Amino acid sequence: MEKLKLGINYPMTLLLGIRRSGKSSLVKVLTKEEKGIWIYLDLRKFESSSFIHYKDLILELEKVINVSIPDRLKRLFSGIRGVSIAGVNLNFKWGGEERVEFSQILEKLSEISEREGGERVVIIFDESQELRKLKGYNLLYPLAYAYDNLKVKFIFTGSEIGMVYDFLKVDDSKSPLYGRAYTEVVANPFSRETALEFLRKGFDELNMKVEENILEEAVDTLGGLPGWLTYYGFTYMQEKDHKTALRKTIDTAISLIREEFNNFLRGREEAKDRYRTIMTVCAKGCRWSEAKNAIESKEGTKIDDKRFTELLNNLIKASFLTKEGEIYKPADVMIGLAFSSTI
């Protein structure tokens, strides 16, 4: 949290971690503890979409700005092409020659920061990897402009860590954001002891006494992601039964992970069977050759090494797999369960 608080003093912060690692909770705590005007765009709504259009981005920004900016400051947006004011609400025109430009919105937000005595204006793009689906508009140019010239800060969160970097292209010499410094904060899963303490404190706050062996089984089964531990604790509170709470948590986890995997496959339909084969083979860990051989055996033909490696790398970028030495394994124990043939 301290590193995150430090990062918002600079133009760009990346908050990364696999799904349900606690990123959203960190952001919520940050916005409550630190002063500023917080503009939070929840991009999870686009997870099931194959494309995002400029219209989608601008309308989402319009909605969030209207609830985040004090009414007395909204008049500053008057005079911008593509912006009208109806009562106390801003309306952004997203199409045609009169459409509002994203860079002009950023300029007005920077002006607000200056008029408010340097108060931070922070735009949070939650699950920012979804922005790589934006078609017909390169968002990186106005972001780079704001980085260099304006007083607006940005936080990009992402659970598909490699996809976030693919979007921002900070290491690509041809990218507008190339060479820009940024703060990187990684939300890692809890260690076993931290996960146990997390559950202990949670149940203590509820004045519930839970045996240590039950907590240990929960952590050993669910792993160290705060999201699953929280869900288990909430379900245990309702059911008052460990086995029922554990089973419901596992079932919910598997259902959500499979839904997220189906979203990942959108736009990749031609290779969907190959991706599923890789995940099944690697559910308990596998080597490159084992996964490749499984696909070739299933299809009865050779697959190009380069193409196969690309499939693996896409799964790593999307945080379904991770690589440890020569072994490819699920990024979380629940992901392994979701693709296990025994479930």
pLDDT, tens digit (0-9, with 9 covering 90-100), for 242-285: 999 999 999 999 999 999 999 999 999 999 999 999 999 999 99
- Report pLDDT for 101: 96
Rounded to an integer, the average pLDDT of 112-118 is 94
Q: Identify which of 167, 147, 171 has the alpha carbon closest to the alpha carbon of residue 157.
A: 167
pLDDT of 302 over the 90 cut = yes
Which of 319-323, 324-328, 339-343 shows the lowest mean pLDDT across its residues?
339-343
**Given a cut of 90, is residue 342 above it in pLDDT?**
no
For residue 318, give the 3-state DSSP assignment: coil
pLDDT level of residue 341 (50, 70, 90 thresholds): low
Q: How many C-beta atoms surround the C-beta of residue 185 within 10 A? A: 20
Predicted confidence (pLDDT) at residue 175 exceeds the cutoff of 80: yes
Residue 49: how many CB atoms within 10 A of its CB? Answer: 15
Q: What is the mean pLDDT of the chain?
A: 95
Supply the pLDDT for residue 79. 87
Q: How many CB atoms lie within 10 A of CB 129?
A: 27
Alpha helices by DSSP H, listed for 122-239, are 140-149, 161-168, 192-205, 212-222, 226-239
Residue 12, beta-bridge partner list: 154
pLDDT classification of 343: cutoffs 50, 70, 90: very low
pLDDT tens per residue, range 133-163: 999 999 999 999 999 999 999 999 999 999 9
Return the C-alpha torsion angle 317, 321, 322, 326, nearest 10: -120
Average pLDDT over residues 61-89: 94
Is 50 exceeded by the pLDDT of residue 232? yes
Work out the average pLDDT over 6-34: 94
- Whether the pTM exceeds 0.75: the reply is yes
Average pLDDT over residues 286-291: 97
Cα torsion at 59, 61, 66, 69 (round to 10°)? -170
CA distances (Å), origin 337, targets 152, 233, 298: 42, 20, 22
